[in-house]
Structure 1
Amino acid sequence: MRQRASFEHCELCNRAIPLTFHHLIPRKMHRRPRFKKAYTRDELNQGIWVCQACHRGIHKLFDEMTLARDYYTLEKLLADPAVQKHIAWVGKQRRG
């Protein structure tokens, strides 16, 4: 898991906190023929920088196939009501 050492803003909850890289199409799906045919290597490696709480939340809410099939952009993630609820919860947590 790639990690940014500097403090920047999470692309989901917007907190200034150390970030981790979330592949929008999970790496486990990259070798599947469906995804190999549909996306370039650069598209498969696209992702967002999120805090650990948001990263864990994404993976608790959705399995890898669902993420790859339905939530492969930041906009699609942000539009989901469960993700919005998680973001609201994370925003109330202490930053430490």
Structure 2
Amino acid sequence: MLCNRVLHLTFHHLIPKKMHRRTFFKKHYKKSELAQGIDICRQCHDGIHKTYTEMELAKHLNTFEAIKDDEKLSSYFAWVAKQKVSRY
């Protein structure tokens, strides 16, 4: 979805699971909202978590549009798109 490569995908929770048990998120989000996520490649997934903390992701980058439109991440996704896909 982010780098447009065709390979195995992983599930990225839009609000990281680590945040689900915190009072703020329990109070402001339904369980179904906490469970929402997107399917992305492992390299994009790792890049998201290396660039931002769990709290930053939960509070500011909790939609697909926010992730896709983020300046740091969009340049990273563009770089990933140029990488060779290894088959295993």
TM range (shorter): over 0.9
- Establish whether residue 94 from structure 1 lines up as the match of residue 84 from structure 2: yes
Q: CA offset at residue 12 of structure 1?
A: 1.0
Instruction: Determine the C-alpha separation between the residues in 2 that align with 1:82 and 1:37.
Output: 30
Count of residues in correspondence between the two structures: 86
Using CA pairs below 8 Å that are at least 6 residues apart, which structure has the higher relative contact order? 2
- Structure with the largest fraction of strand: 1
Report deviation, 1:82: 0.5
Structure 1 unaligned runs (5+)?
Answer: 1-10
Q: Distance in 2 between matches of 1:93 and 1:30?
A: 33
**Residue in structure 1 matching 2:75, options 68, 77, 85:** 85
Q: Residues 37-92 of structure 1: CA distance to partner in whole angstroms, max 9, x if unpaired? A: 10000000000000000000000110000000000000000110101111111011
- Structure 1 runs, 4 residues or longer, greater than 3 Å off: none
- Unaligned runs of 5+ residues in structure 2 are none
- What is the match of residue 40 of structure 1? 30
Q: How far apart in 2 are the matches of 1:43 and 1:77?
A: 17
Name the % identity.
Answer: 52
Question: Residue 56 of structure 2 aligns with which residue?
Answer: 66
1:20 to 10, 30, 42: 10
Amino acid at match of 1:52: R
Q: RMSD value over aligned CA atoms?
A: 0.5
When normalised by structure 2's length, the TM-score is 0.96
SS of structure 2 residue aligned to 1:53: helix
